[in-house]
Amino acid sequence: MRLYIMRHGETEWNVRRLYQGHSDIPLNENGVALAEITGRGLRDIPFDLAFTSPLRRARQTAEIVLRGRDVPLAEEPKLIEIAFGVYEGCTALPTERDPHPDPNLLNFIRDPEHYVAPEGGESIPGLCMRMSAYLNSLIRRRDLQDKTILLSTHGAATCAMLNAIDPPEGFFWRGGVPYNCSYAIVDVIDGEPELVAENQICYAPA
């Protein structure tokens, strides 16, 4: 089994640095373009099937990357992003409307060990448990052992999965928040996942 774990393309909320979580925000024009470039970059990868988060930004990314191919695409609720609850639509940056945002918002990016899940939100340990359980259930599927699979998901969800495979030295975000349309490659041999590459992109970063 080989997994390509991909973060979705750019959205307007990414540009504005708003916390998205379960908010169903579509790709913006640049996000569509990045997915198209990524699809061309991965055109020789023989995907057998794909799973996507139910959120539009992830589904659109998978559909664009796989455009023109006969690759089955199924929604997988467990691939959804961490829920931010009352933080969804907020930013950690000072604004005219909110010059003193909750410092806990910034903790999510800069100090995740001290991030506290807000009302209606999911904790980082909870996300890690969810993604680890999903990954373990996927790699145990006997019918998929010889398959190449695309997983279209989100930034925090991606890091949580990779941390289950290759634990970082104390920092949830590894080298930083994954680029939009970046992907990690994971090989599964005899039921054991091995991280081959991460944060790979098919375009020049800005």
The residues carrying an active-site annotation are 8, 81
Residue range of the domain that includes 86:
2-200
pTM of the model: 0.96
Percent of the residues in the chain that have a pLDDT greater than 70, as a whole number? 100
Residue 206 covered by a domain: no
Say if 178 falls within a structural domain: yes
Structure tokens given for 114: 């001290």
Q: Do the domain assignments include residue 99?
A: yes
pLDDT (tens digit per residue) in 8-43: 999 999 999 999 999 999 999 999 999 999 999 999
Per the structure, how many domains does the chain have?
1
Mean pLDDT for the chain overall: 97
CATH number at residue 61: 3.40.50.1240
pLDDT of residue 96: 82
Q: Which amino acid is at 35?
A: A
Domain membership flag for residue 205: no
Task: Report whether pLDDT(206) > 80.
Answer: no
Distances (CA, A) of 135 to 12, 37, 86, 202: 29, 27, 28, 25
Give domain status of residue 168, yes or no: yes
Q: Give the DSSP letter of residue 12.
A: H
Residue 115 located in a structural domain = yes
Neighbour-count burial of 76, counting CB atoms closer than 10 A to its CB (0-12 exposed, 13-18 middle, 19+ buried): middle
